[in-house]
């Protein structure tokens, strides 16, 4: 597994406030890596440091295994703040200006990125005529100039309506399918859970956990069951044993087992032998939301 970005004990303070405290993590190539945390957790500070916008007080980071070199940074596209475009200019004109300032892209590249973000039909419309979702997609188009290998997005769906959120989510998925490594800072747990392969959770500058989404979420097996007679089912599962906790809600039985110990076939067979036909049986992954609140105690 090739590591795109490696952070080693990054710390950053603003006077007495410690924004980041010895944060270390590795981001693999091809991943959609979500950096999660409440406001003030250090997400934007971390993104700004690895983009060389801010200097860390201590610690180091390395892009593509080659340190922090201007040549390597040319492989990185980013969207850190609210899109900063000229409202009276078209998408094409705004991207031409962005390309000239950044030294990335050309007229053909501008047409390419507009096609990627599905704004070709509106490329000659003024920026002021765009919806919020379209403005955000144009900002991502600007970040894609020069065909970067990595894309950093800070709160890419912030302030968008459900349609705009869906558009950005689909765009991120399509970019990931093209092999672009995407790093997203967000506090929207549901969105991160839908699109991210990996996740890191920050709280007040501390890294609480980091890794593949399935690894972060998997600290126990959660099995959900249902049958016509819920009381009989509950008694049957209790007799079988092996679980750590059991509760009933919404006409479903939720049974928690130590990680790796839930045997679905054995549960089904045990219920059948006791005259219970299961209407529902599946191994439920803990939601990112519940894991997030469990870790942050918020």
Kindly list the structural domains of the chain, giving each domain's residue range(s) and its CATH number in brackets, ordered by start: 3-216 (3.40.50.300), 219-296 (3.30.70.100)
Q: What pLDDT is recorded for position 73? A: 79
Q: Give the number of residues written for the chain.
A: 298
Q: What whole-number distance in Å separates Cα of residue 73 and Cα of residue 298?
A: 36
The rounded percent of the chain whose pLDDT value lies above 70 is 94
- Reply yes or no on whether the pLDDT at 207 is more than 60: yes
What are 287's two structure tokens?
Answer: 């939601």
What are 221's two structure tokens?
Answer: 């097996």
Q: What whole-number distance in Å separates Cα of residue 220 and Cα of residue 236?
A: 21
What mean pLDDT do residues 275-298 have?
Answer: 74
Cα–Cα separations (whole angstroms), residue 100 to 53, 161, 260:
20, 32, 55
Q: What pLDDT is recorded for position 218? A: 62
- The angle, 0 to 180 degrees and rounded to 10, between the axes of the packed helices 91-102 and 132-143 is 30
Alpha-carbon dihedral 48, 50, 52, 53, rounded to 10 degrees: 0
What does the pLDDT look like over 108-148, one tens digit per residue? 889 999 999 999 999 999 999 999 889 999 999 999 999 99
The rounded percent of the chain whose pLDDT value lies above 90 is 51
What mean pLDDT do residues 164-173 have?
Answer: 90
């Amino acid at each position: 597994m090739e590591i795109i970005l490696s952070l080693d004990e990054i710390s950053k303070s603003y006077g007495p406030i410690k924004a980041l405290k010895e944060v270390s993590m590795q981001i693999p190539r091809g991943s959609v890596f979500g950096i999660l945390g409440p406001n003030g957790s250090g997400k934007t500070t971390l993104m700004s440091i690895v983009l060389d916008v801010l200097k860390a007080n201590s610690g180091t980071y390395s892009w593509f295994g080659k340190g922090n070199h201007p040549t390597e940074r040319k492989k990185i596209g980013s969207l850190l703040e609210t899109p900063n475009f000229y409202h009276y200019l078209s998408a094409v004109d705004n991207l031409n200006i962005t390309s000239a300032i950044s030294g990335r892209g050309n007229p053909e590249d501008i047409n390419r990125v507009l096609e990627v973000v599905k704004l070709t039909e509106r490329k000659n419309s003024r920026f002021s005529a765009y919806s919020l979702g379209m403005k955000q997609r144009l900002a991502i188009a600007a970040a894609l100039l020069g065909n970067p290998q990595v894309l950093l997005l800070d709160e890419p769906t912030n302030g968008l309506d459900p349609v705009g959120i869906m558009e950005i989510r689909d765009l991120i998925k399509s970019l990931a399918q093209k092999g672009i490594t995407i790093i997203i800072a967000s506090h929207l747990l549901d969105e991160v859970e839908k699109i991210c392969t990996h996740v890191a959770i920050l709280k007040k500058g501390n890294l609480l956990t980091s890794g593949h989404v399935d690894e972060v979420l998997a600290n126990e097996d959660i099995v959900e069951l249902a049958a016509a007679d819920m009381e009989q089912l509950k008694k049957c599962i209790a007799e079988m044993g092996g679980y750590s906790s059991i509760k009933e809600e919404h006409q479903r039985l939720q049974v928690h087992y130590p990680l790796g110990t839930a045997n679905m076939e054995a549960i089904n067979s045990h219920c059948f032998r006791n005259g219970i036909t299961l209407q529902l049986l599946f191994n439920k992954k803990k939601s990112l939301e519940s894991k997030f609140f469990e870790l942050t105690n918020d």
